[in-house]
Structure 1
Amino acid sequence: MRTTNLFILRGRVGQAPKAFNKAAKISVATDRAWTDGKGERREETDWVTVTILNEKSAEWALSNVAKGDAVYAECRIADGSYKGKDGETVYTTDIIASVFHKLDLGTRDDAAA
């Protein structure tokens, strides 16, 4: 049996992408809405940091993606660890994009209409 580690993300960029070695890191906001037990509408935003490891894709993102842009990414979730300053083990969970596109959804106000 083959297994799959696939995370699909569609959201808005929270700040300009940052270069990280030959990669790019991009903070993406996703939001969700629901009605709570009292019948009140609730909303929450989740922030996900996406890492683009492919050098050409990272260069493209650094040059072409800006705060507020709508983006689509197909990613894998990767766990890792490293030794911290005091010798303690620090565990990480990274979102690594294999596909990353800028979407043309208009402005934030247009997308809400």
Structure 2
Amino acid sequence: MRTTNLFILRGRVGQAPKAFNKAVKINVATDRSWTDGKGERREETDWVTVTILNEKAAEWAIANIAKGDAVYAECRIADGSYKKDGETVYTTDIIANVFHKLDLGSRDDAAA
């Protein structure tokens, strides 16, 4: 049986991409809305940090992605760990396999 580790993300960049070594981390905001039990409209923003490990894609992101840009990413979720002060710290990373800048118009236009 083949398995799949696929996380699809579409959102807006919260700040300029940050380079480290040959990779880039980009914070992406996704909004969701619902109606609560009282019939009131609720909204919430989730922030996801996407890591681009491919060197050429990382260079492209630094040159072309800015705060507020709409983006689309196909990612995998990767667990890891490292030692800090003798303790094991566990991590979960979102690694981009595909990363595109979207043309959704202004933020107000994208609300639909």
TM range (shorter): over 0.9
Q: How far 1:86 sits from its partner (Å)?
A: 1.6
Kindly report the root-mean-square deviation, in angstroms, between the aligned alpha carbons of the 2 structures.
0.8
Q: How far 1:109 sits from its partner (Å)?
A: 1.5
Q: How far 1:91 sits from its partner (Å)?
A: 0.5
Q: How far 1:110 sits from its partner (Å)?
A: 1.8
Output the CA distance in 2 between the equivalents of 1:63 and 1:8.
23
Residue by residue over 1:42-88, the C-alpha shift from the partner in whole angstroms, topping out at 9 and shown as x without a partner, is 000000000000000000000000000000000000000000x3211
TM-score normalised per structure 1: 0.97
SS of the equivalent of 2:108 reads helix
SS of the equivalent of 1:47 reads strand
Show structure 2 runs of 5+ residues with no match.
none
Identity of aligned residues (%): 92
SS of the equivalent of 2:16 reads coil
- Matching residue of 2:2: 2
Output the CA distance in 1 between the equivalents of 2:33 and 2:110.
15
Q: How far 1:111 sits from its partner (Å)?
A: 1.4
Output the CA distance in 2 between the equivalents of 1:70 and 1:16.
12
- Matching residue of 1:58: 58
Q: How far 1:112 sits from its partner (Å)?
A: 2.1
Output the CA distance in 2 between the equivalents of 1:105 and 1:36.
28
Output the CA distance in 2 between the equivalents of 1:29 and 1:112.
13
Show structure 1 runs of 5+ residues with no match.
none
Q: How far 1:26 sits from its partner (Å)?
A: 0.1
What pairs with 1:6-45 in structure 2 (closer than 5 Å)?
Answer: 6-45=6-45
Output the CA distance in 1 between the equivalents of 2:19 and 2:59.
8
Output the CA distance in 2 between the equivalents of 1:5 and 1:111.
28
Residue by residue over 1:74-109, the C-alpha shift from the partner in whole angstroms, topping out at 9 and shown as x without a partner, is 0000000000x3211100000000000000001102
Structure 1 segments (4+ residues) deviating >2 Å: none
TM-score normalised per structure 2: 0.97
